[in-house]
Structure 1
Amino acid sequence: MQGGDVILSRLAFAALVAGLGILAIAVVWAGSVYPGYDHARQFMSELGASGAVTGAEVSRWGFVPNGLLITVFSVLAAWILRRSALAVTACLLLAGNGIGMTGAGIYPCDFECSRSDPSAAALLHDLFGGLGYLNAIVGVGLAALWARQSEAPWLAPLGVGVLIVSLVGFYGVVAEVALMGLFQRAMEAALAVFMLALGWALVKGLRAARP
């Protein structure tokens, strides 16, 4: 069983790295070919919006595979840490973030993510995206709480820092501040750092203690 968990931890980390890499490549590429796009002032979703020059590519080959791979990582992490209910709950919430990204890719926002007379797809996009972020924020908080008594206590302060950045970033997204794109990317980067740290800890042998 332990040997199986070692293999699963490596598969989980590979899925995570692939998912994050796909999203980064899609956003950087699309931003470079989208006329006048500003990463600091515009949402990533605008790159995958209906009618955008990069819409289909970013949504289908960026958001959806990223979400699926994040979900795979999180579910595998939950299984590896199955001896702790708190750790499993945290990982399943992180999986909710992956599901949210997948749904946001399947249901793109309207052109330029306009809020004027939104389509059904745009409403679903906001629902999936918002719930995904909330799941991730709570998941990181619970993971940090669990990590305090784990074999990788350094994940706890990292999780607290990521939680703070994510809360500020989420506020910037919801309030649509002038630099909302920067707020969103800060949140995405912070969440990615924590998941990479968790994934690496699993590869190095992090397991939940027996109850």
Structure 2
Amino acid sequence: MNGSLNRWYYFSGLLAPIWLLLGVVIAGSLYPEYSHYNQAMSELGAKGSPTHILSPIINNYPLSVLFMLFGIGIVKTFTTSKLARISGVLIIIHGLSSFSAGFFSCDVGCSLESPSREQNIHNISGLILFFSLLFSSLIWIFISNRCLGVKWFGWFSLACSLVAVALLPLMAGAVESGEGFGLYQRLNYGSQALWVFVFSLILLRLKVTS
């Protein structure tokens, strides 16, 4: 596979977490009294929100493309490792889920009580979005040293996965209390986005082509 093309695929993974951060900050700044501490990121694109149309355009859709490109790069690069290719497919699925979560908005406030059909699809997309990236990172716990020659990345993948899973009960508790959900959700997704960022840096630095 062409090395310069590889770098574009890897750079997409590097750019995705940065784009996510900037997109959420920008959309949040245009949403009066929006709380990054208490409110879900999905509320930025919820029906009736001030950023309903803008949020998926600057967040979900471009992120979908970036994640899919990164996943395609992994599939094309690791031709001799079935597990590595599966991890790439999972990242592609993550990108598709990002698009779906943006296209199908949640209801006002993203309430879990009596959700609309569109919000149900949004919620399912969110679950796929989470688990696809989680399982992808779990795979690299076992193949990092063999495929990359970077043993510490396996431990880093484990740490990011554990952080993401450990935050789930805190997110559930925050739904009940109405406080802190936004923070825990950002830390949850942030741990996985950081994994993608570091993975991209490793690929760019090692110039993996096989």
TM-score by length of 2: 0.89
Give yes or no for contact 1:141–1:159 (8 Å, CA) kept in 2: yes
* CA distance, structure 2, for counterparts of residue 63 and residue 21 of structure 1: 13
The 5-angstrom pairing of residues 128-143 of structure 1 reads 128-143=125-140
Q: Where does residue 161 of structure 2 map in the other structure?
A: 163
Give yes or no for contact 2:13–2:197 (8 Å, CA) kept in 1: yes
Q: Where does residue 199 of structure 1 map in the other structure?
A: 200
Give yes or no for contact 2:70–2:91 (8 Å, CA) kept in 1: no
* CA distance, structure 1, for counterparts of residue 15 and residue 103 of structure 2: 19
1:40 Cα deviation after fit: 1.5
The 5-angstrom pairing of residues 1-211 of structure 1 reads 1=1, 4=2, 6-150=3-147, 151-174=149-172, 176=175, 178-205=179-206, 207=208
3-state SS of 2:190 partner: helix
Q: Which runs of 4+ in 1 moved over 3 A?
A: 170-175, 206-209
* CA distance, structure 1, for counterparts of residue 172 and residue 73 of structure 2: 31
1:208 Cα deviation after fit: 8.3
Instruction: State the superposition RMSD in angstroms.
Output: 1.9
**CA distance 1:171–1:67, shift in 2 (3 Å):** farther
Give yes or no for contact 2:6–2:209 (8 Å, CA) kept in 1: no
1:44 Cα deviation after fit: 0.3
Structure 2, unpaired ranges of 5+ = none
1:63 Cα deviation after fit: 1.2
Structure 1, unpaired ranges of 5+ = none
Give yes or no for contact 1:78–1:88 (8 Å, CA) kept in 2: yes
Aligned length: 206
3-state SS of 1:55 partner: coil
TM-score by length of 1: 0.89
1:83 Cα deviation after fit: 1.2
3-state SS of 2:84 partner: helix
3-state SS of 1:108 partner: coil
Give yes or no for contact 1:70–1:98 (8 Å, CA) kept in 2: yes
Give yes or no for contact 1:8–1:80 (8 Å, CA) kept in 2: no
Give yes or no for contact 1:10–1:203 (8 Å, CA) kept in 2: yes
1:207 Cα deviation after fit: 4.1
Which structure would you say has the larger RCO, counting Cα contacts within 8 Å and 6 or more residues apart? 2
Tell me which amino acid in the other structure corresponds to 1:155.
Answer: F
